[in-house]
Structure 1
């Protein structure tokens, strides 16, 4: 017998907000898992109600690993809390989720773990849909960021003038923290609306401005709506150099724009950034593709700390991992989709990267010194791709006049592994 998981979304309205199918499922359930708050929303049922242990992720993993041939519920009826995890007598486990289980919810975790064929999902209205209904916002035109499983700093990546955002809060402290983050990022005049217990009898809406926010902490179940007022922020590569703390080891703005373009960020790719320095390439790669991830390889501890600070400021820290020096640390890293070599270029590094790239993977390498430029020319002759010499000149004063100041030329090799 194959066990089955039924994931039922429930909102602040509780039982009254559920449709007939969800009610019938719960009325016939033998085992129901959920948070204590969710279980308290249910009427008297025959089922064995089991609140999640802390940490919930560990308890959930145990439940998903349990099969009907494993532990039992203690008696023939499947009722009564014995403290053992496992399915009911028919091999079915019912799990409560907040709102729409497939919207930043537990449903996605369960489907990934056991497969869609073993999971039935019964959603209710999501918190985002309810918030937009209250605010009169078009849900398709709203940016949604979760602070439940990510660092709050990730919100900074979504900020730009005129944009409406919904932030799924971790708890009652999130609104005040968001107000401070907005103020710290020149978005202090943005309006904040905190929507608590949406759809339930205790629903409450509080409004204010980020820079003057002084509301006391409210209900832990809340969504924060932000109407951004501040600078326009582009996701296109080539941001000013002064946006990144650095010690001089930074890929300059024009070359950075060309380099990130050559790296061609795409959905759910993993980038290896070797010799990361300030992290400007990693950060602009991540800002260009919100589903991307980066492993940055940097041997200098001070630069690594600087890199982390820059990534945090730009809101992408949660998708960036800092590793040690290359090539020593490459062998233990997950296989990359794309590799950039901006520092530490050597034959050993090229050989390790080439071995790690699978078919279709891309390598982009920049070289300043003649020795490294010759090395790239050698590998270009061996593997093909494109080899470019990039030179940039910037207007600068010459006494009372103006002249062109050339930067050091860069040789860039771009190749796809075949």
Structure 2
């Protein structure tokens, strides 16, 4: 029995049925089961009077996903906002259902509508969703002159976004809140981040456009590896800025890759790995300082950093397969390097930093056996010597990098 295109995902805007193409309307008319939120289903009043089955999204949404999968073989139509594959339900469904069984008909995305209203170029903006996601995800997107388009979680989101901007000393940023775009209740309100305490009440259905304008004292945090040491909460167990930049360069993160940060300290390597690209993932393994990691991850915009409290190598069993592993502490712990090497897939890479002679000896043995490169990193910082200045050397770091055949 063929199930080709039994599931149809239709993007619908605030203009409802009138904004749908003939083909999209035809798929809705023929569907045996309609799926959507209350707002979407209420856009189809004449269809709701018939006897067809309807499924309204609930929490947790995974239950609904399974219900939809159980309907394979029937004609199912899912209604979604705008473009279902741009921070939409279509992306979630297609992780579970092959595209060969699905037809997707997008409507104009919220992002496109915002650009049309403001005269912005879509290829020159940053897009993100805060629907069901932590507002701290906004942090890496804040930089001078950035233009941000944000899908809001509700009427409180504009104020939360504005407060984050003010906390980062971007309080002069321009904020535009766009409600019910392309509908009869469309409203556009332009204001500034520093006015957030006097914001009016917004509709639950809103999107936000931000022009990031820094103050003189604004904290500018690059997405490149090597954030200032003072950007982190720590107790001294921190890979210093210069060494961190070299280490991230050696690890060479690519979009969508998974890192194990073993002996994570305050979490700086895993955090900056994730900041390098929104799709990068990392797991921080640390037995003592997980509270520092959690606070730093939120403050620096990587709230999805997975934190595991425990002692390696025992705690490493059963974790998702890594593309890269960084060992920032504990290289001499029995079986740690062995476990990490065995956990890597072919072409996976490992980087280990040590500062002791015993650690150097261990890395030398591994380099002799498995190849790779050994590098010594020596950094000096200029500091006062009386009325003069001189170089104060940091403790040298020995680094081993290898790629598993």
> Aligning the two structures, in what range does the TM-score lie when normalised by the shorter sequence?
over 0.9
Counterpart selection for 2:360 from 361, 373, 377: 373
1:235 match? 223
Write the mapping of 1:4-403 to structure 2, written as runs, cut at 5 A.
Answer: 4-45=6-47, 46=50, 48=52, 50-55=54-59, 57-67=61-71, 91-213=74-196, 214-230=198-214, 231=218, 232-300=220-288, 303-346=289-332, 347-403=334-390
* 1:32/1:47 contact within 8 Å kept: no
Distance in 2 (alpha carbons) for counterparts of 1:102 and 1:138: 20
* 2:176/2:210 contact within 8 Å kept: yes
Unpaired segments ≥5 residues, structure 2: none
Distance in 1 (alpha carbons) for counterparts of 2:128 and 2:86: 11
Unpaired segments ≥5 residues, structure 1: 69-86
Distance in 2 (alpha carbons) for counterparts of 1:150 and 1:390: 39
1:407 aligns with 2:394: yes
Distance in 2 (alpha carbons) for counterparts of 1:22 and 1:403: 72
Distance in 2 (alpha carbons) for counterparts of 1:321 and 1:115: 32
* 2:290/2:307 contact within 8 Å kept: no
1:416 aligns with 2:399: no
SS of 2:18's equivalent? helix
What TM-score do you get using the length of structure 2 for normalisation? Answer: 0.94
Distance in 2 (alpha carbons) for counterparts of 1:36 and 1:161: 39
* 1:169/1:222 contact within 8 Å kept: yes
1:79 match? none
* 2:270/2:305 contact within 8 Å kept: no
Deviation string 1:333-378 (CA, Å, 9 cap, x unpaired) is: 1111100000122241101101101110000000001111111111
* 2:377/2:397 contact within 8 Å kept: yes
Tell me by how many angstroms 1:27 deviates: 1.9
Distance in 1 (alpha carbons) for counterparts of 2:207 and 2:304: 21
Distance in 2 (alpha carbons) for counterparts of 1:65 and 1:43: 26
Distance in 1 (alpha carbons) for counterparts of 2:140 and 2:188: 26
* 2:33/2:55 contact within 8 Å kept: no
SS of 2:274's equivalent? helix
* 1:358/1:417 contact within 8 Å kept: yes
* 1:36/1:51 contact within 8 Å kept: no
* 1:64/1:114 contact within 8 Å kept: no
Aligned length: 395
The 1:242–1:164 alpha-carbon spacing in structure 2 relative to 1, beyond 3 Å, is same
Tell me by how many angstroms 1:143 deviates: 0.2
346-355 or 259-268: bigger deviation: 346-355
SS of 2:365's equivalent? helix
Tell me by how many angstroms 1:325 deviates: 2.1
What TM-score do you get using the length of structure 1 for normalisation? Answer: 0.91
Deviation string 1:301-334 (CA, Å, 9 cap, x unpaired) is: xx11011101100111124433422112101211
